[in-house]
Amino acid sequence: MGGDGVSPRMAGKATILVVERAGAATEALLALLRARGHRVAWARDAEGAFHALDEARVDAVVAPLGAARIDGLAVLRHARQRRPDACVVLSADAAGQRLAEAALAAGAHDVLPRPVARERLLAVLERGLTQQRLSARLAEMEGRLDENLSVAPFTGRSRAIARVMEQVRHLASTHVPVLIEGEAGTGKGLAALAIHQHSPRRDAPFVSLDCGALAEPLLERELFGHEADTPGGSAHAGRLELADGGTMFLEDVDELPSGAQARLLRVLQDHAFERVGGSESHRIDARLIAATRHDLEARARAGRFREDLLRRLGVARIVMPPLRDRREDRRVTRGVLDRLMSHAWPGNVRELRDTIASTVMVARSRRVIELADLGRALSPAEGEAERLAIGVGTTVEDAERQLIAATLEYAGNDKPRAAALLGIGLRTLYRKIKEYRLPH
């Protein structure tokens, strides 16, 4: 092994191992990687590569396939054994292309044709290292809010979710009402629970009610309770009374009918209410947290929600970011990550959580989750498969280029799968990608 060896990893920099024969091209590549701020190690053969991988934690590996004294597949497997998310970029000449499919199946990030254009290699490495950083975060999907809040199902380290965490920390120590806004599945209920669990009321009840789940008469009875319906019957306490001393969380508060809105306003103003069918005033000490996925300001202007209630509920507000604005909070590797990153996530965190759960069930006891495991969870519904519209008059060459590009995108850039979908060989796909100058 030569070069400057492997040193302890610098904060924020990648450690890259280059496995290649000695020569001017290799020296130029090493210098270029160092100039980009990376820590660089060099090995002249497979034995030196194994030693380097055992000696220190390596983030990325660049090696050839089918070169003398350099078994690229063996280097790949050893790197992945030492670090499952290692970004391994291999290169192959025409003779080595037969190994490309095996390399991709074994977890290579990409296989580039030799001679490798340096700028292209740098772009592939940067993409792989970015995915590697993202992969360190997605598995925390059902982790805790963070180490300070330790709320198990709520997580994230993106700037957007960090702002939410800071608001949760601040509001937990207060007693003011909170309005949590955001799309369905963004974790509004988890944020409400986090506020309660880290407030002085943490040992008192946390009671929730979905205002959109019950018809109007039942909703008021469920929330405020009701007196006996018949002589000799019994009265029933509502959710508000059950939350006395603790926190009352109202999901989809915009679904409250006008009568319930008036009753809730009195709770916020006087801390008192009457049960349905009764006249006795009941005192209540419950913190109110409400959530909505709609624009309550617009609904208030349209007369569909009381403006005075909105002012009371919105003393403090938290806006939950949708998952599409939290790309940093996702994690897995290569084709699976590409597929996850390209999905629109209309169901936000809830859809991602369900997708990960179903994917793990499909993978069962295997250590590696493959793109095929993800396919069923994210595949379009029957009859809704993705389509490619090609206009009349499009040349055969342009139609083929569009079809290949769309199939690669659909397959999450998984080239063996794309080749299978297209019904062509992997070598043919690589040739077409090069011919049409498609991004790898």
In order of their start, the domains of the chain are 15-116 (3.40.50.2300), 159-320 (3.40.50.300), 380-440 (1.10.10.60)
pTM for this predicted structure: 0.47
What pLDDT does residue 341 have? Answer: 64
What pLDDT does residue 386 have? Answer: 59
Query: Measured in whole angstroms, how far is the alpha carbon of residue 28 from the centre of its chain?
Result: 38
What pLDDT does residue 5 have? Answer: 37
What pLDDT does residue 55 have? Answer: 84
What pLDDT does residue 154 have? Answer: 52
What pLDDT does residue 127 have? Answer: 85
What pLDDT does residue 373 have? Answer: 61
What pLDDT does residue 164 have? Answer: 87
pLDDT per residue of the chain (440 residues) written in tens, 0 to 9: 333 333 333 334 889 999 999 999 999 999 999 999 899 999 999 999 999 998 888 999 999 988 888 888 999 999 988 888 889 999 988 777 778 888 888 888 888 888 888 888 998 898 888 877 766 555 444 343 344 444 434 556 677 888 888 899 889 989 999 999 998 878 899 899 999 998 999 999 999 999 988 888 889 999 999 988 777 667 888 999 999 999 999 999 999 999 999 999 999 999 999 999 888 899 999 999 999 999 999 999 999 999 999 999 999 999 998 866 765 556 444 556 666 666 666 666 666 666 766 665 555 444 455 655 665 556 544 334 456 777 777 788 888 888 898 888 877 787 877 887 887 877 788 888 988 888 76
